[in-house]
Structure 1
Amino acid sequence: MPSELSRRSFIAAGGAFGVLALAPPARVRSLLEAARAATGDGRFLTKHEVATLRAATARFVPGPPYDPDPGALQAGAAEAIDLMLGAFRVRPPLIHAGGPFSGRAGGRRDDFAHFVPLDRLATLGWRIRLEGSRGMRSREFAGPVVGLQEIYRKGLAHLDERSRSAYGVDFAAAPPPAQDAILSDQSDSDTQEFVGAALANTLEAMYGAPEYGGNRKLVGWTPNRWLGDRQPAGFSPAQVSSPDPGPRVGPAAAALFSAWLAAREKGRP
Protein backbone atom coordinates (compact mmCIF):
# COMPACT_ATOMS: atom_id res chain seq x y z
CA MET A 1 0.00 0.00 0.00
CA PRO A 2 1.55 3.38 -0.93
CA SER A 3 2.56 5.59 1.96
CA GLU A 4 1.77 8.89 0.29
CA LEU A 5 -0.79 10.31 -2.10
CA SER A 6 0.24 10.73 -5.72
CA ARG A 7 -0.18 14.10 -7.40
CA ARG A 8 -3.88 14.97 -7.70
CA SER A 9 -4.91 11.35 -6.90
CA PHE A 10 -8.17 12.46 -5.30
CA ILE A 11 -9.10 14.53 -8.31
CA ALA A 12 -8.25 11.75 -10.72
CA ALA A 13 -10.35 9.26 -8.76
CA GLY A 14 -13.33 11.59 -8.97
CA GLY A 15 -13.58 11.27 -12.73
CA ALA A 16 -13.01 13.70 -15.58
CA PHE A 17 -14.58 17.14 -15.41
CA GLY A 18 -16.74 18.24 -18.30
CA VAL A 19 -14.53 20.95 -19.78
CA LEU A 20 -14.73 21.67 -23.50
CA ALA A 21 -11.37 20.60 -24.93
CA LEU A 22 -10.49 22.69 -27.94
CA ALA A 23 -7.52 21.86 -30.14
CA PRO A 24 -4.72 24.44 -30.31
CA PRO A 25 -5.45 27.14 -32.89
CA ALA A 26 -4.76 26.29 -36.50
CA ARG A 27 -1.75 28.59 -36.80
CA VAL A 28 0.14 27.15 -33.85
CA ARG A 29 -0.84 23.61 -34.81
CA SER A 30 0.37 24.12 -38.37
CA LEU A 31 3.71 25.44 -37.12
CA LEU A 32 4.17 22.37 -34.95
CA GLU A 33 3.26 20.01 -37.79
CA ALA A 34 5.42 21.83 -40.34
CA ALA A 35 8.45 21.65 -38.09
CA ARG A 36 8.00 17.90 -37.55
CA ALA A 37 7.36 17.17 -41.23
CA ALA A 38 10.45 18.96 -42.53
CA THR A 39 13.34 17.32 -40.67
CA GLY A 40 11.86 16.20 -37.39
CA ASP A 41 13.42 19.27 -35.81
CA GLY A 42 11.49 21.76 -33.74
CA ARG A 43 10.94 25.39 -34.58
CA PHE A 44 14.25 26.31 -32.87
CA LEU A 45 15.63 23.14 -31.29
CA THR A 46 16.93 20.12 -33.18
CA LYS A 47 15.12 16.78 -33.14
CA HIS A 48 17.58 15.43 -30.58
CA GLU A 49 17.29 18.52 -28.39
CA VAL A 50 13.48 18.29 -28.43
CA ALA A 51 13.70 14.64 -27.35
CA THR A 52 16.02 15.59 -24.49
CA LEU A 53 13.71 18.42 -23.46
CA ARG A 54 10.69 16.11 -23.54
CA ALA A 55 12.49 13.76 -21.16
CA ALA A 56 13.36 16.60 -18.78
CA THR A 57 9.86 18.09 -18.75
CA ALA A 58 8.42 14.63 -18.14
CA ARG A 59 10.38 14.50 -14.88
CA PHE A 60 9.25 17.98 -13.83
CA VAL A 61 5.56 17.06 -14.23
CA PRO A 62 5.30 13.27 -14.55
CA GLY A 63 2.37 11.59 -16.24
CA PRO A 64 1.46 7.92 -16.72
CA PRO A 65 2.69 5.47 -15.54
CA TYR A 66 4.21 7.52 -12.71
CA ASP A 67 1.08 9.59 -12.10
CA PRO A 68 -2.48 8.77 -13.17
CA ASP A 69 -3.04 12.24 -14.61
CA PRO A 70 -1.49 13.58 -17.82
CA GLY A 71 1.88 15.23 -17.40
CA ALA A 72 4.12 17.58 -19.33
CA LEU A 73 4.71 15.00 -22.05
CA GLN A 74 1.00 14.66 -22.77
CA ALA A 75 0.56 18.44 -22.60
CA GLY A 76 3.23 19.04 -25.25
CA ALA A 77 5.26 21.26 -22.93
CA ALA A 78 8.55 20.71 -24.77
CA GLU A 79 6.99 21.64 -28.09
CA ALA A 80 5.47 24.78 -26.59
CA ILE A 81 8.86 25.80 -25.18
CA ASP A 82 10.44 25.24 -28.59
CA LEU A 83 7.82 27.54 -30.16
CA MET A 84 8.64 30.22 -27.59
CA LEU A 85 12.38 29.93 -28.26
CA GLY A 86 11.73 30.39 -31.98
CA ALA A 87 9.02 33.00 -31.51
CA PHE A 88 10.66 35.54 -33.83
CA ARG A 89 10.85 33.11 -36.73
CA VAL A 90 7.21 33.90 -37.55
CA ARG A 91 5.22 37.14 -37.77
CA PRO A 92 3.78 38.34 -35.56
CA PRO A 93 6.03 36.68 -32.98
CA LEU A 94 4.35 34.04 -30.83
CA ILE A 95 4.69 36.09 -27.65
CA HIS A 96 1.37 37.61 -26.64
CA ALA A 97 -1.92 35.92 -27.52
CA GLY A 98 -4.75 38.26 -28.43
CA GLY A 99 -8.08 38.79 -26.72
CA PRO A 100 -10.52 39.27 -25.22
CA PHE A 101 -12.09 35.79 -25.57
CA SER A 102 -10.91 32.30 -26.47
CA GLY A 103 -14.29 30.90 -27.49
CA ARG A 104 -14.19 28.31 -24.70
CA ALA A 105 -16.92 30.13 -22.77
CA GLY A 106 -18.74 32.05 -25.46
CA GLY A 107 -17.68 34.55 -28.06
CA ARG A 108 -17.64 34.19 -31.81
CA ARG A 109 -14.02 33.09 -32.31
CA ASP A 110 -10.78 32.23 -30.56
CA ASP A 111 -9.26 35.68 -30.17
CA PHE A 112 -6.34 34.16 -28.25
CA ALA A 113 -5.20 32.50 -31.49
CA HIS A 114 -4.48 35.89 -33.08
CA PHE A 115 -1.13 36.96 -31.67
CA VAL A 116 -0.45 40.64 -31.05
CA PRO A 117 2.33 42.46 -32.96
CA LEU A 118 5.02 43.86 -30.67
CA ASP A 119 6.09 47.48 -30.59
CA ARG A 120 9.76 48.46 -30.80
CA LEU A 121 10.50 48.33 -27.07
CA ALA A 122 8.65 45.06 -26.54
CA THR A 123 10.53 43.54 -29.47
CA LEU A 124 13.85 44.65 -28.00
CA GLY A 125 12.96 43.31 -24.56
CA TRP A 126 11.86 39.92 -25.84
CA ARG A 127 14.83 39.57 -28.17
CA ILE A 128 17.12 40.20 -25.21
CA ARG A 129 15.24 37.64 -23.14
CA LEU A 130 15.26 34.97 -25.84
CA GLU A 131 18.44 35.67 -27.82
CA GLY A 132 20.54 37.41 -25.18
CA SER A 133 22.52 40.59 -25.60
CA ARG A 134 25.13 38.99 -27.92
CA GLY A 135 27.58 41.80 -27.28
CA MET A 136 25.29 44.35 -28.95
CA ARG A 137 25.51 47.80 -27.43
CA SER A 138 21.78 48.38 -27.97
CA ARG A 139 21.03 45.30 -25.85
CA GLU A 140 23.59 45.75 -23.08
CA PHE A 141 22.33 48.98 -21.53
CA ALA A 142 21.81 46.98 -18.31
CA GLY A 143 24.80 44.69 -18.80
CA PRO A 144 25.36 41.40 -20.65
CA VAL A 145 22.42 38.97 -20.76
CA VAL A 146 22.47 35.25 -21.52
CA GLY A 147 19.31 34.47 -23.49
CA LEU A 148 17.01 31.52 -23.06
CA GLN A 149 18.07 30.09 -26.42
CA GLU A 150 21.64 29.72 -25.17
CA ILE A 151 20.53 28.46 -21.76
CA TYR A 152 18.48 25.71 -23.38
CA ARG A 153 21.02 24.79 -26.05
CA LYS A 154 23.91 24.52 -23.60
CA GLY A 155 21.76 23.01 -20.86
CA LEU A 156 20.37 20.21 -23.02
CA ALA A 157 23.86 19.35 -24.27
CA HIS A 158 25.09 19.32 -20.67
CA LEU A 159 22.36 16.86 -19.64
CA ASP A 160 23.58 14.50 -22.35
CA GLU A 161 27.18 14.91 -21.21
CA ARG A 162 26.27 14.14 -17.61
CA SER A 163 24.18 11.13 -18.59
CA ARG A 164 26.77 9.66 -20.95
CA SER A 165 29.49 10.12 -18.35
CA ALA A 166 27.49 8.46 -15.57
CA TYR A 167 25.30 5.94 -17.41
CA GLY A 168 26.71 5.55 -20.91
CA VAL A 169 23.57 6.78 -22.72
CA ASP A 170 22.02 10.09 -23.71
CA PHE A 171 19.77 11.76 -21.15
CA ALA A 172 16.53 10.82 -22.94
CA ALA A 173 17.55 7.13 -22.90
CA ALA A 174 18.48 7.06 -19.22
CA PRO A 175 16.00 5.55 -16.72
CA PRO A 176 13.83 8.08 -14.86
CA PRO A 177 15.67 7.69 -11.50
CA ALA A 178 18.94 8.49 -13.27
CA GLN A 179 17.35 11.52 -14.93
CA ASP A 180 16.06 12.70 -11.56
CA ALA A 181 19.53 12.34 -10.04
CA ILE A 182 21.03 14.54 -12.75
CA LEU A 183 18.31 17.20 -12.63
CA SER A 184 18.37 17.42 -8.83
CA ASP A 185 22.16 17.72 -8.49
CA GLN A 186 22.49 21.03 -6.63
CA SER A 187 26.27 20.95 -6.96
CA ASP A 188 26.05 21.31 -10.75
CA SER A 189 25.48 24.99 -11.52
CA ASP A 190 25.13 24.39 -15.26
CA THR A 191 22.30 21.92 -14.70
CA GLN A 192 20.58 24.17 -12.18
CA GLU A 193 20.69 27.15 -14.56
CA PHE A 194 18.86 25.00 -17.10
CA VAL A 195 16.42 23.61 -14.52
CA GLY A 196 15.57 27.11 -13.28
CA ALA A 197 14.47 28.17 -16.75
CA ALA A 198 13.00 24.88 -17.98
CA LEU A 199 10.92 24.15 -14.88
CA ALA A 200 9.28 27.58 -14.99
CA ASN A 201 8.59 27.31 -18.72
CA THR A 202 7.25 23.77 -18.31
CA LEU A 203 4.71 24.90 -15.73
CA GLU A 204 3.67 27.78 -18.01
CA ALA A 205 3.18 25.38 -20.92
CA MET A 206 1.45 22.77 -18.76
CA TYR A 207 -1.10 25.06 -17.15
CA GLY A 208 -1.28 28.05 -19.51
CA ALA A 209 -3.64 28.72 -22.37
CA PRO A 210 -3.40 26.08 -25.12
CA GLU A 211 -3.01 28.76 -27.77
CA TYR A 212 0.69 28.88 -26.87
CA GLY A 213 1.14 25.26 -27.96
CA GLY A 214 1.00 23.44 -24.61
CA ASN A 215 -1.86 22.21 -22.41
CA ARG A 216 -3.07 19.97 -25.25
CA LYS A 217 -6.76 19.14 -24.98
CA LEU A 218 -6.68 21.09 -21.70
CA VAL A 219 -4.94 18.21 -19.90
CA GLY A 220 -3.38 20.71 -17.49
CA TRP A 221 -6.79 22.04 -16.43
CA THR A 222 -9.20 19.12 -16.58
CA PRO A 223 -7.80 16.88 -13.78
CA ASN A 224 -7.61 19.94 -11.51
CA ARG A 225 -11.23 20.89 -12.26
CA TRP A 226 -9.97 24.29 -13.41
CA LEU A 227 -12.46 25.92 -15.76
CA GLY A 228 -9.89 28.17 -17.38
CA ASP A 229 -10.87 31.48 -18.95
CA ARG A 230 -14.61 31.95 -18.35
CA GLN A 231 -15.40 35.16 -20.19
CA PRO A 232 -17.76 36.29 -21.59
CA ALA A 233 -20.00 33.70 -19.90
CA GLY A 234 -18.48 34.43 -16.49
CA PHE A 235 -19.90 33.00 -13.28
CA SER A 236 -23.32 33.19 -11.70
CA PRO A 237 -23.77 35.10 -8.40
CA ALA A 238 -24.15 31.75 -6.61
CA GLN A 239 -20.87 30.47 -8.05
CA VAL A 240 -19.09 33.64 -6.98
CA SER A 241 -20.44 33.68 -3.42
CA SER A 242 -20.42 29.94 -2.66
CA PRO A 243 -17.49 27.53 -2.31
CA ASP A 244 -16.81 25.09 -5.10
CA PRO A 245 -18.23 21.60 -4.54
CA GLY A 246 -14.75 20.09 -4.63
CA PRO A 247 -13.70 16.79 -6.16
CA ARG A 248 -15.92 13.73 -6.02
CA VAL A 249 -13.95 11.25 -3.95
CA GLY A 250 -14.60 7.65 -4.95
CA PRO A 251 -14.02 4.52 -2.84
CA ALA A 252 -10.53 3.96 -4.26
CA ALA A 253 -9.39 7.45 -3.34
CA ALA A 254 -10.99 7.20 0.10
CA ALA A 255 -9.15 3.93 0.77
CA LEU A 256 -5.89 5.44 -0.45
CA PHE A 257 -6.32 8.46 1.79
CA SER A 258 -7.10 6.27 4.81
CA ALA A 259 -3.95 4.24 4.18
CA TRP A 260 -1.91 7.41 3.84
CA LEU A 261 -3.26 8.77 7.12
CA ALA A 262 -2.56 5.47 8.88
CA ALA A 263 1.01 5.39 7.58
CA ARG A 264 1.52 8.99 8.61
CA GLU A 265 0.23 8.37 12.13
CA LYS A 266 2.34 5.24 12.44
CA GLY A 267 5.47 7.20 11.62
CA ARG A 268 4.88 9.76 14.36
CA PRO A 269 6.61 9.35 17.75
Structure 2
Amino acid sequence: MPTRRQFIHSILFASAAIAAPAAFGRTISGIPWSPGLADQPALPDSTQTFFTAAERACVRAITARLIPSDETGPGADEANVVAFIDTQLAGFYGRGQRWYMKGPFLEGTDEQGYQFERPPAGLYRMAIAALDEHCRRTHGDKTFAELDTSLQDDTLSAMEEGKLDFEGLSASAFFELILDNTIEGFFSDPIYGGNRDMIGWRLVGFPGARYDYRDYLDHDGKRLDIPPVGLAGRPEWKAP
Protein backbone atom coordinates (compact mmCIF):
# COMPACT_ATOMS: atom_id res chain seq x y z
CA MET A 1 0.00 0.00 0.00
CA PRO A 2 1.30 3.54 -0.73
CA THR A 3 2.12 5.85 2.16
CA ARG A 4 -0.49 8.36 3.17
CA ARG A 5 1.67 11.20 1.85
CA GLN A 6 1.92 9.48 -1.55
CA PHE A 7 -1.80 8.82 -1.51
CA ILE A 8 -2.77 12.42 -0.80
CA HIS A 9 -0.21 13.64 -3.35
CA SER A 10 -1.84 11.45 -6.00
CA ILE A 11 -5.25 12.85 -5.07
CA LEU A 12 -4.17 16.44 -5.61
CA PHE A 13 -2.89 15.61 -9.10
CA ALA A 14 -5.86 13.45 -10.05
CA SER A 15 -8.80 15.65 -9.14
CA ALA A 16 -11.04 13.89 -11.61
CA ALA A 17 -11.08 10.95 -9.24
CA ILE A 18 -12.69 13.14 -6.58
CA ALA A 19 -15.50 14.36 -8.78
CA ALA A 20 -17.45 11.14 -9.34
CA PRO A 21 -17.28 7.36 -8.94
CA ALA A 22 -15.39 5.53 -11.67
CA ALA A 23 -17.14 3.48 -14.32
CA PHE A 24 -17.84 -0.17 -13.67
CA GLY A 25 -18.80 -2.69 -16.29
CA ARG A 26 -20.08 -5.77 -14.45
CA THR A 27 -23.60 -6.45 -13.30
CA ILE A 28 -24.85 -7.68 -9.96
CA SER A 29 -27.55 -10.27 -9.45
CA GLY A 30 -29.00 -12.25 -6.59
CA ILE A 31 -29.05 -9.51 -3.97
CA PRO A 32 -32.20 -9.28 -1.80
CA TRP A 33 -32.92 -5.73 -2.87
CA SER A 34 -35.94 -3.94 -4.27
CA PRO A 35 -34.98 -2.71 -7.75
CA GLY A 36 -33.95 0.94 -7.72
CA LEU A 37 -34.45 1.29 -3.97
CA ALA A 38 -32.14 1.31 -0.96
CA ASP A 39 -34.08 -0.72 1.57
CA GLN A 40 -33.06 0.42 5.04
CA PRO A 41 -32.20 -2.38 7.46
CA ALA A 42 -33.23 -2.53 11.09
CA LEU A 43 -30.88 -0.22 12.96
CA PRO A 44 -29.47 -1.04 16.40
CA ASP A 45 -29.25 2.60 17.52
CA SER A 46 -30.07 6.13 16.43
CA THR A 47 -26.50 7.02 15.45
CA GLN A 48 -26.69 5.03 12.21
CA THR A 49 -28.57 5.88 9.05
CA PHE A 50 -28.08 3.05 6.57
CA PHE A 51 -25.37 0.66 7.77
CA THR A 52 -25.92 -2.10 10.26
CA ALA A 53 -23.35 -2.25 13.06
CA ALA A 54 -21.34 -4.94 11.23
CA GLU A 55 -21.43 -3.04 7.93
CA ARG A 56 -20.37 0.16 9.62
CA ALA A 57 -17.42 -1.60 11.29
CA CYS A 58 -16.29 -3.00 7.94
CA VAL A 59 -16.52 0.33 6.08
CA ARG A 60 -14.85 2.17 8.94
CA ALA A 61 -11.94 -0.30 8.81
CA ILE A 62 -11.63 -0.03 5.02
CA THR A 63 -11.60 3.77 4.98
CA ALA A 64 -9.10 3.84 7.84
CA ARG A 65 -6.67 1.86 5.68
CA LEU A 66 -7.31 3.87 2.50
CA ILE A 67 -6.43 7.13 4.26
CA PRO A 68 -4.65 6.10 7.46
CA SER A 69 -3.43 8.47 10.13
CA ASP A 70 0.33 8.89 10.29
CA GLU A 71 3.01 11.46 11.05
CA THR A 72 1.44 13.77 8.45
CA GLY A 73 -1.82 14.02 10.34
CA PRO A 74 -5.14 12.31 11.09
CA GLY A 75 -6.85 10.10 8.52
CA ALA A 76 -10.28 8.98 7.36
CA ASP A 77 -11.32 7.48 10.69
CA GLU A 78 -10.61 10.69 12.56
CA ALA A 79 -12.39 12.63 9.79
CA ASN A 80 -15.49 10.46 10.34
CA VAL A 81 -15.63 9.42 6.68
CA VAL A 82 -17.81 6.42 7.55
CA ALA A 83 -20.58 8.83 8.62
CA PHE A 84 -20.38 10.62 5.27
CA ILE A 85 -20.73 7.34 3.35
CA ASP A 86 -23.50 6.14 5.66
CA THR A 87 -25.51 9.30 5.06
CA GLN A 88 -24.95 9.27 1.29
CA LEU A 89 -26.08 5.66 0.95
CA ALA A 90 -29.26 6.41 2.91
CA GLY A 91 -30.19 9.20 0.51
CA PHE A 92 -30.79 9.67 -3.21
CA TYR A 93 -27.19 8.74 -4.07
CA GLY A 94 -27.51 5.35 -2.41
CA ARG A 95 -30.80 4.70 -4.18
CA GLY A 96 -29.46 5.83 -7.56
CA GLN A 97 -32.53 8.04 -7.55
CA ARG A 98 -31.18 10.55 -10.05
CA TRP A 99 -29.63 8.00 -12.39
CA TYR A 100 -31.05 6.01 -15.26
CA MET A 101 -31.27 2.50 -13.77
CA LYS A 102 -33.38 0.62 -16.33
CA GLY A 103 -30.58 -1.07 -18.28
CA PRO A 104 -29.44 -2.66 -20.49
CA PHE A 105 -26.58 -3.58 -18.15
CA LEU A 106 -23.61 -4.27 -20.39
CA GLU A 107 -19.88 -3.85 -20.01
CA GLY A 108 -19.28 -0.12 -20.30
CA THR A 109 -16.41 2.25 -20.88
CA ASP A 110 -14.90 4.68 -18.40
CA GLU A 111 -16.84 7.49 -20.07
CA GLN A 112 -20.23 5.80 -19.57
CA GLY A 113 -20.30 5.96 -15.80
CA TYR A 114 -21.97 3.61 -13.35
CA GLN A 115 -23.07 0.40 -15.10
CA PHE A 116 -24.53 -1.78 -12.34
CA GLU A 117 -28.15 -2.83 -12.19
CA ARG A 118 -28.19 -2.16 -8.45
CA PRO A 119 -27.73 1.28 -6.85
CA PRO A 120 -24.65 2.08 -4.73
CA ALA A 121 -26.39 1.11 -1.50
CA GLY A 122 -27.16 -2.32 -2.92
CA LEU A 123 -23.59 -2.71 -4.12
CA TYR A 124 -22.23 -1.81 -0.70
CA ARG A 125 -24.52 -4.24 1.12
CA MET A 126 -23.65 -7.11 -1.19
CA ALA A 127 -19.91 -6.37 -1.28
CA ILE A 128 -19.53 -5.98 2.47
CA ALA A 129 -21.25 -9.31 3.07
CA ALA A 130 -19.04 -10.98 0.43
CA LEU A 131 -15.87 -9.41 1.83
CA ASP A 132 -16.59 -10.49 5.40
CA GLU A 133 -17.47 -13.99 4.23
CA HIS A 134 -14.18 -14.22 2.33
CA CYS A 135 -12.26 -13.07 5.40
CA ARG A 136 -14.03 -15.60 7.63
CA ARG A 137 -13.14 -18.45 5.29
CA THR A 138 -9.55 -17.30 4.85
CA HIS A 139 -8.56 -15.90 8.23
CA GLY A 140 -10.01 -18.07 10.96
CA ASP A 141 -13.59 -16.82 11.11
CA LYS A 142 -12.57 -13.18 11.43
CA THR A 143 -14.36 -10.38 9.61
CA PHE A 144 -12.41 -7.71 7.74
CA ALA A 145 -12.71 -5.30 10.67
CA GLU A 146 -11.22 -7.93 13.01
CA LEU A 147 -8.07 -8.52 10.92
CA ASP A 148 -4.79 -6.83 11.78
CA THR A 149 -3.87 -3.90 9.57
CA SER A 150 -1.30 -5.81 7.51
CA LEU A 151 -3.89 -8.42 6.50
CA GLN A 152 -6.40 -5.66 5.79
CA ASP A 153 -3.88 -3.99 3.48
CA ASP A 154 -3.15 -7.28 1.71
CA THR A 155 -6.86 -7.89 1.19
CA LEU A 156 -7.48 -4.41 -0.17
CA SER A 157 -4.48 -4.69 -2.49
CA ALA A 158 -5.84 -7.98 -3.84
CA MET A 159 -9.21 -6.33 -4.46
CA GLU A 160 -7.64 -3.34 -6.20
CA GLU A 161 -5.44 -5.48 -8.42
CA GLY A 162 -8.23 -7.85 -9.44
CA LYS A 163 -6.65 -10.81 -7.64
CA LEU A 164 -9.71 -11.27 -5.44
CA ASP A 165 -13.26 -11.55 -6.63
CA PHE A 166 -16.65 -12.29 -5.11
CA GLU A 167 -19.44 -14.37 -6.58
CA GLY A 168 -21.60 -12.17 -8.82
CA LEU A 169 -19.62 -9.06 -7.92
CA SER A 170 -16.38 -7.41 -8.98
CA ALA A 171 -14.25 -6.82 -5.90
CA SER A 172 -12.10 -4.33 -7.82
CA ALA A 173 -15.22 -2.35 -8.76
CA PHE A 174 -16.25 -2.14 -5.13
CA PHE A 175 -12.72 -1.07 -4.21
CA GLU A 176 -12.86 1.76 -6.73
CA LEU A 177 -16.27 2.88 -5.49
CA ILE A 178 -15.37 2.94 -1.81
CA LEU A 179 -12.03 4.60 -2.59
CA ASP A 180 -13.85 7.39 -4.44
CA ASN A 181 -16.38 7.75 -1.63
CA THR A 182 -13.60 7.84 0.96
CA ILE A 183 -11.82 10.65 -0.88
CA GLU A 184 -15.12 12.52 -1.22
CA GLY A 185 -15.87 12.15 2.48
CA PHE A 186 -12.37 13.23 3.48
CA PHE A 187 -12.48 16.44 1.45
CA SER A 188 -16.21 17.27 1.41
CA ASP A 189 -17.69 20.14 3.36
CA PRO A 190 -18.24 19.03 6.99
CA ILE A 191 -21.95 19.76 6.60
CA TYR A 192 -22.21 16.37 4.85
CA GLY A 193 -20.87 14.40 7.81
CA GLY A 194 -17.24 13.77 6.85
CA ASN A 195 -14.11 15.95 7.04
CA ARG A 196 -14.71 16.34 10.77
CA ASP A 197 -12.96 19.41 12.17
CA MET A 198 -12.01 20.11 8.52
CA ILE A 199 -9.20 17.57 8.81
CA GLY A 200 -8.90 17.06 5.06
CA TRP A 201 -8.85 20.76 4.32
CA ARG A 202 -6.25 21.45 7.01
CA LEU A 203 -4.03 18.72 5.58
CA VAL A 204 -3.82 20.33 2.12
CA GLY A 205 -4.19 23.95 3.24
CA PHE A 206 -7.61 24.58 1.68
CA PRO A 207 -9.25 27.66 3.27
CA GLY A 208 -12.77 26.39 2.59
CA ALA A 209 -15.97 28.19 1.63
CA ARG A 210 -14.92 31.74 2.48
CA TYR A 211 -17.07 34.59 1.25
CA ASP A 212 -14.27 36.79 -0.03
CA TYR A 213 -10.71 35.94 -1.11
CA ARG A 214 -9.71 39.35 -2.45
CA ASP A 215 -7.25 39.92 0.39
CA TYR A 216 -5.34 36.81 -0.67
CA LEU A 217 -5.24 37.15 -4.46
CA ASP A 218 -1.58 38.22 -4.54
CA HIS A 219 -0.15 35.42 -2.40
CA ASP A 220 1.97 34.19 -5.38
CA GLY A 221 1.16 30.55 -4.80
CA LYS A 222 2.26 30.55 -1.16
CA ARG A 223 0.38 28.46 1.35
CA LEU A 224 -2.50 30.35 2.96
CA ASP A 225 -2.25 29.67 6.69
CA ILE A 226 -5.76 30.83 7.53
CA PRO A 227 -8.40 28.78 9.35
CA PRO A 228 -10.73 26.93 6.96
CA VAL A 229 -14.42 27.79 6.90
CA GLY A 230 -17.26 25.42 6.01
CA LEU A 231 -20.65 26.18 4.50
CA ALA A 232 -22.08 26.32 8.01
CA GLY A 233 -19.32 28.67 9.18
CA ARG A 234 -17.01 27.82 12.06
CA PRO A 235 -18.18 26.19 15.30
CA GLU A 236 -17.04 29.14 17.41
CA TRP A 237 -19.27 31.45 15.36
CA LYS A 238 -22.48 29.74 16.49
CA ALA A 239 -24.65 31.61 18.93
CA PRO A 240 -24.89 30.00 22.40
Moved more, 196-205 or 153-162: 153-162
The 1:174/1:38 distance shift into structure 2, 3 A limit, reads closer
Instruction: Confirm or deny that 1:243 pairs with 2:216.
Output: no
1:73 match: secondary structure: coil
The 1:214/1:195 distance shift into structure 2, 3 A limit, reads same
TM-score (norm 1): 0.56
Higher helix share: 1
1: distance between equivalents of 2:117 and 2:222?
47
Higher relative contact order (CA 8 A, sep 6+): 1
2:131 corresponds, among 159, 177, 189, to: 159
Counterpart AA for 1:233: D
1:188 corresponds, among 153, 164, 168, to: 164
1:210–1:216 Cα contact (<8 Å) kept: yes
Between Structure 1 and Structure 2, whose CA radius of gyration is higher?
Answer: 1
2:52 corresponds, among 46, 50, 64, to: 46
1: distance between equivalents of 2:180 and 2:214?
30
2:73 match: secondary structure: coil
Instruction: Confirm or deny that 1:234 pairs with 2:213.
Output: yes
1:135-180 CA distances to partner (integer Å, 9 max, x unpaired)?
Answer: xxxx347876221012111111122122212222110010111011
Q: CA deviation at 1:225?
A: 1.6
1:241 match: secondary structure: coil
Counterpart AA for 2:123: I
What RMSD, in angstroms, separates the aligned Cα atoms of the two structures? 3.2
1:128–1:145 Cα contact (<8 Å) kept: no
1:58–1:73 Cα contact (<8 Å) kept: yes
1:228 match: secondary structure: coil
Instruction: Confirm or deny that 1:56 pairs with 2:62.
Output: yes
Counterpart AA for 2:132: D
Q: What 5-or-longer segments of structure 2 have no aligned partner?
A: 7-42, 107-115, 226-240
The 1:235/1:38 distance shift into structure 2, 3 A limit, reads farther
Counterpart AA for 1:179: Q
The 1:6/1:52 distance shift into structure 2, 3 A limit, reads closer
Counterpart AA for 2:82: A
2: distance between equivalents of 1:5 and 1:81?
23
What is residue 122 of structure 2 aligned with on the other side?
Answer: 150
2:49–2:90 Cα contact (<8 Å) kept: yes
